[in-house]
Amino acid sequence: MKKILITGATGQIGSELTPVLRQKFGGENVIAAGHKREPDREILGSGPYFALDVRDKQTLQALVADNGVDTVFHLASLLSAVAEEHPQRAWDINMNGLTNILEIAREYRCAVFFPSSIAAFGPLTPPDNTPQDTIQHPNTMYGITKVAGELLSDYYHHRFGVDTRGVRFPGLISHKALPGGGTTDYAVHIFYAALTNKHYDCFLKRDTKLDMMYMPDAIQAAIQIMESDSKQLTHRNGYNITAMSFAPEQLAAEIKKHIPHFTISYTIDPIRQSIAESWPRHIDDSTARDEWQWAPQYNLSATVKDMLDKLSHRIKTNREVV
Ligand code: SER
């Protein structure tokens, strides 16, 4: 990794991966690309930024060719709930964006990181200790694009020798940028509500368990898999990774330890509830642990403590949340 392109750089993952990679590899060597014309100051001020649509292959290609890009973190994607509202658009952005990236990577010999998701599983998948290799038959457009993305990334590796790698992220908890329309977003919104209103109205049922991870672990996973010796990787794409699994009532109880007056109510959104029920409750990530020494640092209590510290500071100092 010497010259890196990040698509979706202004999104939930990108806005945290970009500064970490710039710190590590030098600001000028990490090109951020996103759909926003005006990204936040941190991204604009620390290295190159280009506003682009990943469906625009010509612009993408010029960016890679002109800058000698050797690694792409392809994060641009619509998330699960918004993809159910706009399924054709989700297919267009998620699949045509990835196809463009893989084709360009083939031509310019770039390595590609592709984030898949627990959404790549479906109602027929064993929901507990979900194995690395199991039934993948999602019934959401987002999940369909994630399975197809895993397969396409594998295909470009064995057919054309492109160095593709990726993980299945669980719900990601972070305080810098809000997620854009996912099913696991409640686990981010609840912190904002706890610190401001001391009350949160949750759109998932109290006992709906899902895998989750704090953003620093997700960033570590993305970098670690790209830096692993490729000989260690038998799967390459779609490695199960998780850090914890909890239901809304467990997260609320942990927040209550810090904010005793915090309360939670439940008004179920049927679309997001049915998406959540089609996903595993807890995946088995032992393959990633064995093959590239994946080891998360944050469990539920460490995540809640750090989120409340960082977010309350952000709210007090009025720093923008993007
Ligand atoms: N966090 C994502 C979503 O809820 C899952 O990959 O859509």
User: How would you classify the pairing of strands 128-130 and 4-7?
Assistant: unpaired
pLDDT value of position 315: 87
Q: 164: Cβ below 6 Å to ligand 1?
A: no
pLDDT value of position 321: 54
pLDDT value of position 37: 81
Determine the distance separating the centroid of ligand 1 and the alpha carbon of 182, expressed in angstroms: 5
Mean pLDDT of 92-109: 98
- Tokens 């990943």: give the residue: 54
- Domains detected in the chain: 4-170+214-240 (3.40.50.720), 171-212+243-318 (3.40.50.720)
Prediction pTM value: 0.96
pLDDT by residue (tens digit) across 73-85?
999 999 999 999 9
Determine the distance separating the centroid of ligand 1 and the alpha carbon of 28, expressed in angstroms: 31
Beta bridge partners of 6: 32, 73
Closest by Cα among 169, 192, 163 to 72: 163
Q: 174: Cβ below 6 Å to ligand 1?
A: no
Specify whether the CB–CB gap between 186 and 260 falls below 8 A.
Answer: no
Beta bridge partners of 4: 30, 71
- Give the confidence band of 319 by pLDDT, cuts at 50, 70, 90: low
